[in-house]
Every structure is written in C-alpha cells, then in structure tokens.
Amino acid sequence: MSEKTGLNNVPDLPGKIQRLMELLSLAKDNGELQIFSALFMTDFQIIAYLASHENTHPSELADTLRSTRPNIAANLRTLESKGYIVRNIDENNHRQVYVNITEKGKIYFQICQKQLGYLFSSWFALLGEEEVEHLFVILEKSCRPDIMTDELKKFNFGD
C-alpha cells in the first residue's frame, strides 16, 4: 500500500472495505442509489451538458465528457430514440451536425435534478451539518490527483 495515502495505518482495512461494499450494496438494493448512479452515466451527462449548451457538436461532447466518439454516437442514438435530443444539420455545411436538447429532454433533466435534490437533502438530514462538512472534505480530497496512488491512477478493469 502507498505511504502517500496512509493506507498502511488503517486498522482492519479489508474488513472496512467489505463493510462499505455491503452497505453500498444494500443502498443499491433499496433503490437509493439508482438516481445517484445516473450522474455517472454518459446519457445523463450528455443531457446535463446540453441543458446549458446549445448547438453542441458531438466531438465537443466526447472531449468534454472524456468519452470516445463512437460511445457518444451510440448514446446520442439512444437519447434521440427516446425523444430527449435532436440532431440538426448545419445549413451552411451539411457535414456538420449539432445536437440540442428537446423539451422532453429538459423535463427529464428537471425530474432527475429534483430526485437528486430529494436524495441529497435526505442524506444531509441524516448526517447533520458536521458530518456533511466532513463528507465534503473526504470528497474534495478524493478529487485531488496529487494524492492519488500510482496504482489507482493506472487501474483498469480490463487488466
């Protein structure tokens, strides 16, 4: 384990990891994490981006969301089939396609935001102000690449 993260100093690390996995699994089984997990899905990220960016080129979506262009194209087909987005061809350059969110997509996005608001506010109420602030500290530290271990940076499920 890495000295950088202090993992050598965590008593019963395997037990704590197992307990965290069990609790997250229970929360998932209860349906609590369904809307939360949507935050990480490319479809939702595309809708969220389009909600504040008009006439977006698919390559811009791929670059912004750090996804591949084929993945974005597949997600756009799915979103278009659901009526959440529309693709428009540029009148001046017929090879250029721009993506926009539809009214149905905006409604879907608003519903998701509302549900996330309910979820997070219930978590905050359960935790209380001090624990919420502690959660933010944990998340802020987790976002810092300078403290991430080399093993974690290189991790890939395909390995």
Measure the CA–CA gap between 105 and 50, rounded to whole angstroms.
9
pTM higher than 0.75 for the full model?
A: no
Cβ contact 109:51 at 8 Å: yes
What is 33-119's CATH topology? Answer: Arc Repressor Mutant, subunit A (1.10.10)
Q: Domain-by-domain residue ranges, the chain?
A: 33-119
pLDDT in tens, the chain (159 residues): 444 455 567 788 888 889 988 988 888 888 777 777 777 888 999 999 999 999 999 999 999 999 999 999 999 999 999 999 999 998 888 889 999 999 999 999 999 999 888 888 998 999 999 999 999 998 888 778 777 666 666 665 554
Cβ contact 101:45 at 8 Å: no
